[in-house]
Chains A and B, each alone.
Chain A
Amino acid sequence: MAVTVKTPAVKTEALDVARIRADFPILAQTVRGKPLVYLDNAATSQKPRQVIDAMSRVFEEHNANIHRGVYEFSERTTAAFEEARAKVARFINAPSEREVIFVRNATEALNLVAYAWGRDNIKRGDRIVTTVLEHHSDFVPWQQLATEVGAEIAVVDIDDNGRLRRDQLSAELRKGAKLLAITHTSNGLGTVNPVKEIAAEARAAGATVLVDVAQAVPHTPVDVQDLGADFVAFSGHKMLAPPGSGGLWGRAEILEKMRPFLYGGDMISRVTVKLTEWNELPWKFEAGTSSYVDAIALGAAVDYLSDVGVAKIHAHELSLVAYLLPRLQEIPGVTVYGPKDLESRVGVVSFNIEGIHPHDVATIFDREGVCVRAGHHCNQPLMTRLGVPATTRASMYLYNTTDDMDALVRAVHAAKKVFGI
């Protein structure tokens, strides 16, 4: 099939990938004697020296628990933690730092909303609209909530190019919806949904709008005010920060009315044996000792991404997709799932090789030093929709090169050779 390769929508000067790569110590590693070709960025990203150093600095220079001690180290660590919050707020253009809650990952952010908002706002007979593109962490919490309270859940389909069925989505919203839970960017196919347009439509229909931006924030500029959502959730580890860092952004007026998610230290303002008063935003939702070193490192990751420029990163990824797609699709037996053009997408390419299970593909790729994900990508409803048990997924980031794409194509040929196809 011929691919229309348009130039990326965002015209920017190219990234200095060689300089970027020098910041990532792991990229100097070899796998079985071959250079590391890391193409599993949708699962987690690698970390630059700047982020690793930010973590070491806390431990080596001023580690102490936050929001507690009155001594200098505690104050310094607390200041670094709150400064990281300010950086994250600026990065997603949140109107206020009070609306940025540090969590461990997107999954925790989504569950926070499902418990602290969902259980009080979704009632028997209410409708939740979501999509077949959701990661399990933006699907299972709503499915379970719906089952628990007797709400109805509508799952909007995609078309054969992996694009959301807008007609179906509009029809579902017209039937009435209390919540729209939608992913900004599909981790399985790389599709970017027109979320701004959809959020406006959903809010006009009376729905609260939650957007899973876990695959968006690392790869495309995200401005929560422009997006028009009520909640967004993301994970730090997919955007150069360590696992254990992540964020929930929500509109203050909604967060204010919500009950806490977890109870304990730090989230209270006053406790008597009879009653407890909650701390103010955002700490009301940050019970217990936060993963403060991870959060501080997320601040460093956001600095790094801002310095490079997220729009540039997106354009770079699209140039890699433009390079890869025709080369991959001309190989007999290769089927690419999802969008086959450069419109509204990120650097995720899902495919299968006829006659070879994705797990065998990934095992053989590993021998070539190529790390990809094989499986259902926590997207079982999507796999069912595509009619496959699993796919092989290559996902790119700022440090990947056309050499990496060539290695991937060579690995496809190697797999076919092993299987005699």
Chain B
Amino acid sequence: MDDMYRDYILDHYKNPRNFGELEGATHTYHDSNPLCGDEMTMQLKIDDGHVDDVHFTGKGCAISQASASILTEEVKGKTLEEVKAIDRDHVLANLGIPISPARIKCALLGLKALKGAAWGLTAWPGEEVKT
């Protein structure tokens, strides 16, 4: 617990990398975590099957924002298939801090939005909004 808010986590939170609207994005996915009111949009610019650029916008807790920021640094240059294959264990390991069960959703919100974008989803399976 003591090392949950490490310097690099707080740095990513206060100075998020690849933050803001992405010009010419080819893939966009928005997600939110109603429990905490976190919002997250991931945008990818895919060129010839590779991630040419990636940006995110959002607001929320330090964990969700830092996790997304770290993720964007990692996926640049990867193939779309590689992005699709990133799993939660990888993201949690990369985050490098102990995450309590109550905060797992925060830590994985960026990944969820990234996957939604990579797979070209408009809504997460099973979460389609009923009207």
List residues of A whose CB falls within 8 A of some B CB. 32, 356-360, 363-364, 366-367, 374-376, 380, 383, 388-390, 418-420
Contacts and interface: CB of A to CB of B under 8 A. Distances in A.
Interface band, chain B: 10 to 19
Nearest to B7: A420
A359 B36 contact: yes
A363 B36 contact: no
Interface in B1-25: 1-2, 4-5, 10
**Residue of A32, A360, A364, A374 with highest tally of chain B CB at under 10 A:** A360
B62 A380 contact: no
A360 B1 CA distance: 12
A364 B5 contact: yes
Contacts of A367: 1-2
Nearest to A361: B61
Interface string B62-77: 1100000000000000
13 contacts: A32-B1, A358-B61, A359-B36, A360-B62, A360-B63, A363-B103, A376-B34, A376-B37, A380-B34, A389-B59, A390-B36, A419-B10, A420-B10
Interface of B: 1-2, 4-5, 10, 34-39, 59-63, 100, 103, 106
B36 A357 contact: yes
Given A357-B61, A418-B5, A419-B10, A383 B100 contact: no
A255 B36 CA distance: 39
A287 to B, nearest CB: 30
Contact of A359 (B1, B2, B59, B61): B61
Nearest to A389: B37
Contact of A360 (B5, B34, B37, B100): B5
Given A376-B35, A390-B37, 10 more contacts: A32-B1, A357-B38, A363-B100, A383-B37, A389-B36, A389-B38, A389-B59, A389-B60, A418-B10, A419-B10
Contacts of B100: 363
A375 B35 contact: yes
Contact of A357 (B1, B10, B34, B60): B60
Contacts of B103: 359, 363
A357 B62 contact: yes
A389 B100 CA distance: 21
A356 B5 CA distance: 12
A252 B89 CA distance: 57
Contacts of A374: 36
A209 B35 CA distance: 31
A367 B35 CA distance: 21
Contacts of B5: 360, 364, 418-419
